[in-house]
Amino acid sequence: MLEKRSVSGSHSASCGFWWRRAGIKLIKLSLRSLILAVCVNERRPFPPPPCSQSSGGGSTLLGYIGIDTIIEQMRKKTMKTGFDFNIMVVGHSGLGKSTLVNTLFKSQVSRKSAGWARDEKIPKTVDIKSVSHVIEEGGVKMKLTIVDTPGFGDQINNDNCILLPWPHAPWFHWEPISKYINEQYEKFLKEEVNITRKKRIPDTRVHCCLYFISPTGHSLRQLDVEFMKRLSHSVNIIPVIAKSDTMTVEEKQEFKQRVRKELEMNGIEFYPQKEFDDDMEDKSDNDKIREAMPFAVVGSDKEYQVNGKRVLGRKTAWGIVEEPTNHRSLCALARLLPRSHLQDLKEVTHNIHYETYRARRLNENGGLHPICDTQDSNL
Amino acid sequence: MLEKRSVSGSHSASCGFWWRRAGIKLIKLSLRSLILAVCVNERRPFPPPPCSQSSGGGSTLLGYIGIDTIIEQMRKKTMKTGFDFNIMVVGHSGLGKSTLVNTLFKSQVSRKSAGWARDEKIPKTVDIKSVSHVIEEGGVKMKLTIVDTPGFGDQINNDNCILLPWPHAPWFHWEPISKYINEQYEKFLKEEVNITRKKRIPDTRVHCCLYFISPTGHSLRQLDVEFMKRLSHSVNIIPVIAKSDTMTVEEKQEFKQRVRKELEMNGIEFYPQKEFDDDMEDKSDNDKIREAMPFAVVGSDKEYQVNGKRVLGRKTAWGIVEEPTNHRSLCALARLLPRSHLQDLKEVTHNIHYETYRARRLNENGGLHPICDTQDSNL
């Protein structure tokens, strides 16, 4: 069983383990196993290194212990409990928000698909509507909530309308969204400070906000800049260029570069944020993602038969355009969103955005006090 | 990639998913995938079921999404951060506590191995001493802390000495231990209510207490009963019969049965506690463990050459006794401790014992108030 164990030099070299931050050094003793005595004794000074069967002040593991089975144990727990993931989509009507979400999750998960009439009137103010689904894949269950924001950006006709009255002023557009995001943090915080807590706090916090940029080919609108500037510190924003099939390859590249420049000029930090890269490996992976952003996407949630196979695509006068596998940007987004950064999006939301909200909230008005609420606890 | 997805009937049938507790039903739509619309909309009543490409009110997934990659994402995170695990060993001197811990973790991890002289005097009162090691296996790093309690049970000569003065009264034996366990909860609680919190709170809470019962062949001592009765509600106790090679097979079976009966009569709940079984699958697995408890163990941390192979064993006048693979009880404990219940021990400690302490603490004296401590936060 010894074969299962290995000490990877790259792992210990590449990242900031908590014991390294605490000033504890890991000493490599053999290629197969390592162990280091670290004294945290309550009463005595640091003792000499442990007695050892191998020379060099450390000891070698004599057989397989099973520490790495923690992964399997965590897998079993996750399979049993499932997990929550909440995505918000923001952008004016007609940009294909619902279609893109359906494309990413290969099913009719969007609000519009969930029975909301496609011909509903565009609201005069920004509305927040959400719909949840439970999706299972490989035995893992995810409660996916799509938060839609109909009415966002729809009543603004002028990019420089910041001084115009309701409903033209941009803040009428981001304020209800910001309020919703903070309300979810507040809900979580209230559950967290309860004296009798739920074993598992329901997580309605927005883990990711897909911001849809119009494929104008020109530049970002003032509302785009203002929205992302204000909300990038309270939610993970992933900017996407919507309906990018309306642009030629050159136009798309040029527009992407312009948007990236404008985001940088305005100090807008989108996800994955540079400052939260854990280590060099993370940085290298995320740099590639950041370079490809904003993703220029085209959604397609209709199913067609092509050469006898079911495919997702868009049927145009020129034929069926197969989307998901061939569209690089969409693939990159699909990789990022469900396949590589789901857990990280949840962790950044919890460790950074929620913690920032919590600290601000506890600092004001003497903070929140624990509440004795025994009604629906499932401890 | 579709092959990766499956809906296991046994999973959804066997356990209490949070959405089931919330009254949400999962509807199976196909053998390969399932999806169910659940409305959590803020403003409108429950909408009709989602538009669907398959009949029956649900929709089929059109391709692989990647929800199950969350397991791989969690694995990567765990490999980077590592985890803490803290074991306390309690029992009077000479019962082989250090040896057993060394045997379980296949290395010299105990306090005595870490440079503490074997000939140190038995203290007159119970002392708490701990030593930590970082062990790596399969790329996963664990900071293992062994908390020893020298002096426990050593000054008691009479089982009915409850009224005798110090240091004979049993409460002088469990009180320092109970105090230590609560101090760790208090440390964690203080970190948790801080306004600026650490990204990862150092976990010094005792996840498991191995309680060593003397292989007398008679019955439990009064101190054993009192200790386990008092501490079983604040820590996960795993009772073990020490040095069980001093008993014949029949004596061992008889003693195990007697101990089990006494534990039951005294209402002592040891780990894994029946009330915390998650589902029928859990119950069935844990019932087998409970039936085999208390484990009758023999530790062996010396290495010998047997038929050209390195083995752990005990060298007696009758030859070398190979231990770890042949000893059923030890194997069961080794399976339970590092290989199957590590994560569960951590979760029961956090969700049950720590939560109980926290609720009590917040109820008394108006509770703890958030402290602004920015000194060593690594947010």
Residue B239 sits in a domain whose CATH number is 3.40.50.300
* CB < 8 Å to B115, chain A: 37, 47-51
Among A42, A310, A378, select the one facing B21 at the smallest CB separation.
A378
Q: Tell me how far CA of residue A204 lies from CA of B41, B187, B379, in angstroms.
A: 12, 29, 22
Alpha helices per DSSP H over A194-327: 222-231, 249-265, 280-292
Q: How many CB pairs under 8 A join A and B?
A: 354
* Tokens encoding B229: 């009765």
| Within a domain: A23 | yes
SS3 B269: coil
| Within a domain: B71 | no
Identify the domain boundary among B23, B43, B64.
B64
Identify the domain boundary among A65, A90, A109.
A65
What is d(CA B41, CA B118) in angstroms, rounded to the nearest whole number? 66
Cβ within 8 Å, pair B47-A141: no
**Could you read off the pLDDT of B294-313 as tens digits, one per residue?**
988 876 666 666 677 766 66
Same domain, B25 and B164: no
Same domain, A33 and A91: no
| Within a domain: A190 | yes
* Tokens encoding B39: 């409305």
**Could you read off the pLDDT of B184-206 as tens digits, one per residue?**
999 999 999 999 999 899 999 99
Same domain, A139 and A2: no
* CB < 8 Å to B75, chain A: 71, 74
Same domain, B19 and B91: no
Average model confidence (pLDDT) across chain B: 75
SS3 A182: helix
| Within a domain: B97 | yes
Identify the domain boundary among B64, B86, B102.
B64
Task: Return the H-helix or E-strand segment holding B134.
Answer: strand B129-137
Q: Which of A29 and B374 is assigned the larger pLDDT?
A: B374
Same domain, B19 and B132: no
Same domain, B198 and B168: yes
* A40 interface with B at CB cutoff 8 Å: yes
**Could you read off the pLDDT of B100-111 as tens digits, one per residue?**
888 888 878 877
In a mutagenesis test of the B interface, which of A107, A302, A341 is the best target, namely the one with the most B β-carbons within 10 Å? A107
**Could you read off the pLDDT of B235-256 as tens digits, one per residue?**
999 999 988 877 888 888 899 9
* B30 interface with A at CB cutoff 8 Å: no
pLDDT at residue B256 in the model: 92
Report how many domains make up chain A: 2
Cβ within 8 Å, pair B136-A21: no
- pTM assigned to the model: 0.79
Going by C-beta distance under 8 Å and a sequence separation of 6 or more, which residues neighbour residue A370? A193, A194, A195, B362, B367
ipTM of the predicted assembly exceeds 0.85: no
Same domain, A109 and A50: no
Same domain, B92 and B60: no
**Could you read off the pLDDT of A213-272 as tens digits, one per residue?**
999 888 899 899 999 999 999 999 999 998 887 788 888 889 999 999 999 999 999 999
Which residues constitute the domain of residue B239? 77-366
* B35 interface with A at CB cutoff 8 Å: yes
Among B47, B71, B135, select the one facing A114 at the smallest CB separation.
B47
| Within a domain: A56 | yes
Cβ within 8 Å, pair B138-A68: yes
Cβ within 8 Å, pair B351-A15: no
Cβ within 8 Å, pair B70-A7: no
Same domain, A146 and A61: no
pLDDT at residue B301 in the model: 63
| Within a domain: B376 | no
* CB < 8 Å to A286, chain B: none
| Within a domain: A376 | no
pLDDT higher than threshold 50 for residue B375: no
| Within a domain: A160 | yes
**Could you read off the pLDDT of A308-322 as tens digits, one per residue?**
776 666 666 666 665
Same domain, B33 and B141: no
Same domain, B31 and B101: no
* CB < 8 Å to B40, chain A: 130-132, 145, 204
pLDDT at residue A160 in the model: 43
* B347 interface with A at CB cutoff 8 Å: yes
* CB < 8 Å to A357, chain B: none
Same domain, A87 and A44: no
